[in-house]
Amino acid sequence: MIRKLMESEIMSKEKRVYAFQRAARVLLSINKAFWILSLPILVVIYVFTTGHVHRETREDNTKTYLLVLCTTFVPSRDREIVHNNTRNNWNSLGSDVLPVLFLESKYTQVKRTFEDNGWVVLPVVDVMSEGFPVIKSFFSAISRHFRSKYVGYANADILFNDDLARTLNLMEKYRPFVEKQNEIFISGSRYDVENITTKDFSTPDKIKQIKLDHSKRHSPMGQDYFITDSYYTWDMLPPIVVGKQRIDNWILINAIEFNHTAIDSSDAITAIHQTVDLGSWTAEKWNTNLSDPKYNEHVLNDLQQDFIYFQTGNLDCLPYEFNYTVANEVVLIKRPHVAKFCKRQHEMVEVLRLRKEKQDRKLKLELMKKKDNQNKNMEIKHKIVKRSHADIINKNKETLKKAGVFKKYYLQRLLPNYDERD
């Protein structure tokens, strides 16, 4: 009897264990099915809420591009058309030209739009005055992410043509013949065009026509793009920032002073400037009150510890230029001479020092003449005073004789400016 009770108890215990195991298997199956069904939904929700979806971009560390061309801007409604034009234009420059945008991380929608259009978007990490980005940090980031023969920066309102890549390919042919093959610097004038539309730059021929018919060539004192070979020493630049005055002039001066192969490409590379405001440092363009528009100038003067002659940061001062032959072919030539004002900084400093010495000598002579005139005037005045004193004394001669010991007192009464030496 007891044995039967024990067997029945064991049987019921085994049944309970079996039932528990079965329930556990069912729960695991339900859990697995839930995750299988919900995972795609969660992925879709994640993509649409965060925007982190794989997009096809041209970032490739194994490929060597002809040119990696970068820019930066602060998104705004006033310049949205301009930036959209630039986005579409740079993306059409060919597979050998990689457009890169440096953008603050908070502009996620702009980032997605540019990435969808073939750009690579990198964060702005190095800023100085009022949040303006340091230009050399762009080239440091490019060197870490990409391989290319040339690197460049252009303002975000500049449109290019197919002659950009063609000119750089031509430069590769000339590279063995220049003095410094790994220190090539290229910049040129922009062509200002107002009220440009998307249709105006839909083909290279249309851009050429706009340049001929509707553009105005900008002064050689202003440059909106810089292209160098990948070995160029951008990291040696001081922390000058994009969007403030004198950055373009000093970059040219730096290339000239260090005897780089500095080339004026104004005639070879078409750079169309979409004119919609007063310039690169307006408050509307950078969303700032610009309390220090001369930040770059102050930084450079502090580092240089000397006068910087910014007028030599002129495209006409570059030693090389791309020019056209009679057969309408682009060639690289060395300029036989440059303008008189294109002096080196040390030469200009010496000229200014001599000029200052001359001015100081002139000022010293003027001061000496002034002092001599003052002395002469004092002498004349003194003579007049002495003569007037003599007249007064003669008139009061009898009184002074009677004064005796009080003579000095009477003289002081008669002569307010009395001096015993007189």
Average pLDDT over residues 324-349: 80
Average pLDDT over residues 157-171: 92
Instruction: Give residue-wise pLDDT tens across range 12-69.
Output: 656 665 666 676 676 767 766 666 666 666 655 554 444 433 333 455 567 899 999 9
Instruction: Find the range with the poorest average confidence among 40-44, 132-136, 218-222, 322-326.
Output: 40-44
Residue identified by tokens 């050998």 is 96
Tell me what percent of the residues of the chain surpass a pLDDT of 90: 30
Strands (E), 250-329: 261-264, 271-275, 320-324
The confidence score (pLDDT) of residue 189 equals 92
| Number of other residues whose CB lies within 10 A of the CB of residue 130 | 17
CB 245 within 8 A of CB 294: yes
| Number of other residues whose CB lies within 10 A of the CB of residue 331 | 13
The confidence score (pLDDT) of residue 93 equals 92
CB 241 within 8 A of CB 134: yes
CB 265 within 8 A of CB 333: no
User: Distance between CA 306 and CA 58 in Å, rounded?
Assistant: 45
The confidence score (pLDDT) of residue 336 equals 86
Which of the four pLDDT bands, split at 50, 70 and 90, describes residue 269?
very high
Mean pLDDT score across all residues of the chain? 78
Identify which of 69-78, 272-281, 390-399 has the greatest average pLDDT.
Answer: 69-78
User: Distance between CA 54 and CA 43 in Å, rounded?
Assistant: 12
Average pLDDT over residues 85-109: 93
The confidence score (pLDDT) of residue 62 equals 75
Instruction: Find the range with the poorest average confidence among 23-27, 42-46, 145-149, 184-188.
Output: 42-46
CB 295 within 8 A of CB 128: yes
Instruction: Give residue-wise pLDDT tens across range 353-411.
Output: 777 778 888 888 888 888 777 777 777 666 665 656 666 666 665 665 556 555 565 66
User: Distance between CA 276 and CA 274 in Å, rounded?
Assistant: 6
More confident residue, 281 or 81: 81
With CA atoms as reference, report the closest residue to 342 among 319, 318, 317.
317
Tell me what percent of the residues of the chain surpass a pLDDT of 70: 67
Q: Give, for 148, the enclosing helix (H) or strand (E).
A: strand 147-154
Average pLDDT over residues 135-156: 94
Tokens of 309: 């002659």
User: Distance between CA 256 and CA 321 in Å, rounded?
Assistant: 13
User: Distance between CA 260 and CA 252 in Å, rounded?
Assistant: 10
The confidence score (pLDDT) of residue 81 equals 87
With CA atoms as reference, report the closest residue to 71 among 189, 186, 155.
155
Half-sphere exposure of 92 (CA within 13 A, CB side): 17
Reply yes or no on whether the pLDDT at 262 is more than 90: yes
The confidence score (pLDDT) of residue 389 equals 63
The confidence score (pLDDT) of residue 193 equals 86
218 DSSP 8-state letter: P
Reply yes or no on whether the pLDDT at 296 is more than 60: yes
User: Distance between CA 273 and CA 196 in Å, rounded?
Assistant: 9
User: Distance between CA 301 and CA 144 in Å, rounded?
Assistant: 31
Distances (CA, A) of 311 to 222, 223, 316: 11, 13, 10
Instruction: Give residue-wise pLDDT tens across range 209-256.
Output: 887 777 788 888 888 999 999 889 898 888 889 988 888 999 998 898
The confidence score (pLDDT) of residue 413 equals 61
The confidence score (pLDDT) of residue 324 equals 86
User: Distance between CA 67 and CA 38 in Å, rounded?
Assistant: 45
CB 154 within 8 A of CB 188: no
Instruction: Find the range with the poorest average confidence among 24-33, 54-63, 76-85, 299-308.
Output: 54-63
Reply yes or no on whether the pLDDT at 312 is more than 60: yes
Cα pseudo-dihedral 176, 180, 184, 186, rounded to 10: -90
Residue identified by tokens 């329930």 is 23
Average pLDDT over residues 148-156: 95
Q: Give, for 46, the enclosing helix (H) or strand (E).
A: helix 2-50
The confidence score (pLDDT) of residue 369 equals 81
